[in-house]
Every structure is written in C-alpha cells, then in structure tokens.
Amino acid sequence: MSEVEITLREAIPVDAKEILQVSRQIAEETDFLIMDEAGLGLSEELLSLQLADLYESENNLLLVALADEKIVGMASVKAAPEFTVSHIGELGISVLKEFWGIGLGSALLDEVIYWSETVSPLARLELTVQKRNERAIHLYQKFGFETEAIMQRGARDAQGAFLDVLLMSKLIN
C-alpha cells in the first residue's frame, strides 16, 4: 500500500451505518474477534442513539480511523456506569485487513491511552486477546499492557476448537 493519510476522530451518530458495514467486513476478514459476520447485532437507528450517548460519556469512547473519508478502523473503550467499576475501560481495536501492518493499530492505541490519561476518569484499561494473535499481543505489550491471566477455553474458533485467551491490562496514572 502506498502512502495513505489517516484521520482519527470520535464517532458520531451519522457514522452508524458505516460502522455496521465495516464491523461486518472486519468480522469476515479475521477470526481473532469475538463477533462473527453478524457484527454488532444492532440496528442502524439503535447504534446511532448509542453513539450520541457515547459522545457525551466521560468514560466511554469510540474512535474511528478514516482513509479517504471512509472508516478503515476503530478503537473502543467501554466502561460500566456503576461507580465501583466505572474506572475500568474495556478496550477493543479492529482494522480492515487492507490496512494491517501500516501502524494504524499503534495510532489508535496511542490515541486511546492519551484520552485515558488526559480526559477520562479511567484508572485501568483492560482487554482480552486470543493467545494465538501474536501481532496484537506484541502491540499491547509495546504500549505497556501486561498479561494478568490466561483464560483456558476462553473462546472457540469456527470449527469449535477451544482457544486460550489472555486478559491484559494497563494501569492509567
């Protein structure tokens, strides 16, 4: 892929349709995600309402990465509203296969960490990643995430074989 300009921004309600389409495409392109080809399981209208709420939330975030004004990747942080766990953000990153290997995951993760440290009230980011997804694990380790646990049989592949999943986290100062 030649030089490509990427723009990162927060998702807004009008992005709902494209986010659903990109999520379905990503699910078809990789077997490292929990979701399948059905994607997010939301209607465009419901996702649009959720994006409006998300945009106003102090501990939730959905970033989109755009190339030529098209969404090519996303990073989400989801935190619960309950006080006892509202300081924990669950991280998820997904990128269209065409844009793998150009540093987009690093850019998204860097922006999420910056937001977590400067804007949000979060004190912890955590994620789960399949143990066989070595590229993603390397990315998370590069940004200071540490493995806390190996969840045996934490997921299954399309053929039903059990997969180990790592629980990784990074404390936010």
Residues sharing a CB contact under 8 Å with residue 154, sequence separation 6 or more, in sequence order? 128, 130, 163, 164, 165
Q: Average of pLDDT values for 91-112?
A: 96
| Strand ranges, E, within the chain | 6-10, 61-67, 70-78, 88-95, 124-130, 146-156, 162-171
**Do residues 116 and 172 make contact, with C-beta atoms less than 8 angstroms apart?**
yes
Q: Enter the tokens of residue 154.
A: 């934490």
Question: Does 35 score more than 60 pLDDT?
Answer: no
Query: Given 3-state DSSP classes, what are the helix, strand and coil percentages for the chain, each rounded to the nearest 5?
Result: 35, 35, 30
pTM: 0.90
> pLDDT at position 36, please?
43
At 2 the pLDDT is: 60
pLDDT band at 42 (very low <50, low <70, confident <90, very high): confident
